[in-house]
């Protein structure tokens, strides 16, 4: 249940905490108190009277819910504001391939307006015999390339043991689609104070995604953004995944966390990336994360979906124009 208090908030919060101490998990946000698994029948009349609203049926992912946290979350990093009316571009190669290459790509990303540099140092590859990433060396190059261009870093962390290592280099943890329900990993990043970008699993429902986010929030870290990157459906001849654009407005209704779209993985082919990116922004997303490469044919991974520098600049410009239009509607 969620109790929306109208007066003597600290006092009433204390009463509620005392009432359920040791039995139920309690979360407090401003004048709202969520008690996991409790129902209004458990609440004394006195507290009911201090409330403007009592919500009995609450979603399992209660901290993620706008019922508990109505206003948009905006995540602040050194170089970015992510969420609400802001439009963030995150760009970079799929893999960090070399020091020289990531520096080159960072410059390209920056020119297009990106404030966050992406690049994988630990790669979740379908086959164990594919390139698995440069590891810590890759993280170092990525950090240096971002610093050189006054950008933030986003990079994937693949297991809980790597969290401290990756934390040394990144501004945003990325949790990959395949790990969306790796609960040990979610708990580990939930223990940090570093923002987390959680990618939707290939067959994760909206509720699954929000519950995965709740694992992070339950650890005390509410700096969460959600990434729609396409889902698995019966049709995958011309696109790698099916971009579930309906998830963008649905998530914005349900949760206060920023929603970012990843048209690169959704499309799988570079010439579909820009239409999907602008569509995502038009639908209300707070940003895009895209893959870029100067020589896609020789990319270490995911070449077919990488935008070349010139195409990326066009995409970035179009996204910004759409975002301005969308902002004018509010």
- Interaction with a copy of itself in 5-24: which residues (CB under 8 A)? none
Residues 185-224, interacting with a copy of itself (CB under 8 A): 185, 187, 201-203, 205-208, 211, 214-215, 218
Q: How far is the CB of 148 from a copy of itself (least distance, A)?
A: 31
Question: How far is residue 230 CA from its own chain's centroid?
Answer: 14
Q: For residue 145, which of 183, 95, 99, 108 has the smallest C-alpha distance?
A: 99
Determine which residue in the list 82, 116, 272, 306 makes contact with a copy of itself, applying CB under 8 A: 272
Q: Find the shortest distance in angstroms from Cβ 111 to a copy of itself.
A: 19
Residue 125 interacts with a copy of itself (CB under 8 A): yes or no: yes
Residue 231 in the binding site for a copy of itself (CB under 8 A)? yes
Q: Which is nearer to a copy of itself, 124 or 309 (CB)?
A: 124
Under the binding rule (CB under 8 A), the answer on residue 280 touching a copy of itself is yes
Based on CB atoms, which residue is closest to a copy of itself, 45 or 328? 328
CA neighbor of 163 nearest in space, from 144, 145, 190: 190
Asked if 1 interacts with a copy of itself (CB under 8 A), we say no
Cβ atoms 195, 224 nearer than 8 A: yes
Where on the phi/psi map is residue 39: left (φ > 0), alpha (ψ -120 to 50), or beta? Answer: beta
Nearer to a copy of itself, 43 or 266 (CB): 266
Contacts of 141 (CB under 8 A, 6+ apart): 96, 98, 99, 102, 103, 134
Among 127, 193, 310, 330, binds a copy of itself (CB under 8 A): 127
Which among 80, 11, 3, 65 is positioned nearest to 40, based on CA atoms?
3
Site string for a copy of itself, 36-65 (x = CB under 8 A): xx----------------------xx----
Report whether 243 contacts 263 (CB < 8 A).
Answer: yes
By rule CB under 8 A, what string of x and - marks binding of each residue 66-85 to a copy of itself? Answer: --------------------
304 contacts a copy of itself (rule: CB under 8 A): no
Q: How far apart are CA 118 and CA 174, in angstroms?
A: 9
Q: Partners of 4 in the beta sheet?
A: 32, 53
- How many C-beta atoms lie closer than 10 Å to residue 6's C-beta? 12
- Judged by beta carbon, residue 69 or residue 79, the one nearer a copy of itself is 69
Q: Which is nearer to a copy of itself, 83 or 133 (CB)?
A: 133
Dihedral angle computed from the Cα positions of residues 322, 323, 328 and 330, in that order, rounded to the nearest 10 degrees: 130
């Amino acid at each position: 249940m969620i109790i929306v208090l109208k007066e003597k908030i600290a006092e009433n919060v204390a009463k509620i905490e005392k009432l359920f101490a040791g039995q139920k998990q309690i979360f407090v946000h401003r004048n709202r108190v969520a008690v996991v698994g409790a129902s209004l029948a458990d609440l004394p009349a006195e507290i009911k009277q201090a409330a403007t609203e009592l919500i009995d049926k609450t979603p399992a992912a209660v901290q993620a819910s706008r019922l508990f946290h109505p206003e948009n979350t905006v995540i602040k990093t050194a170089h970015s504001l992510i969420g609400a009316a802001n439009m963030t571009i995150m760009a970079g190669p799929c893999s960090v391939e070399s020091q020289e290459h990531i520096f080159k790509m960072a410059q390209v990303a920056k020119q297009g307006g990106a404030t966050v540099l992406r690049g994988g140092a630990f790669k979740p590859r379908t086959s164990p015999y594919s390139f698995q990433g440069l590891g810590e060396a890759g993280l170092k190059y990525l950090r240096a390339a971002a610093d050189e261009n006054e950008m933030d870093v986003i990079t994937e962390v693949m297991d809980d043991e790597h969290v401290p290592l990756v934390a040394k280099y990144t501004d945003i943890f990325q949790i990959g689609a395949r790990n969306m329900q790796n609960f040990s990993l979610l708990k580990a990043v939930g223990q940090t104070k570093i923002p987390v970008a959680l990618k939707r699993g290939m067959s994760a429902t909206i509720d699954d995604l929000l519950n995965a986010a709740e694992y992070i929030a339950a650890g005390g870290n509410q700096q969460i953004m959600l990434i729609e990157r396409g889902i698995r459906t019966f049709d995958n001849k011309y696109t790698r995944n099916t971009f579930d654009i309906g998830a963008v407005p649905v998530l914005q209704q349900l949760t206060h966390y920023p929603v970012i779209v990843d048209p690169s993985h959704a499309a799988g082919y570079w010439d579909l990336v820009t239409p999907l990116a602008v569509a995502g922004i038009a639908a209300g997303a707070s940003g895009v994360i895209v893959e870029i490469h100067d020589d896609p044919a020789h990319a270490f991974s995911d070449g077919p979906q990488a935008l070349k520098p010139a195409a990326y600049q066009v995409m970035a410009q179009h996204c910004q124009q759409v975002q301005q239009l969308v902002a004018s509607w509010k």
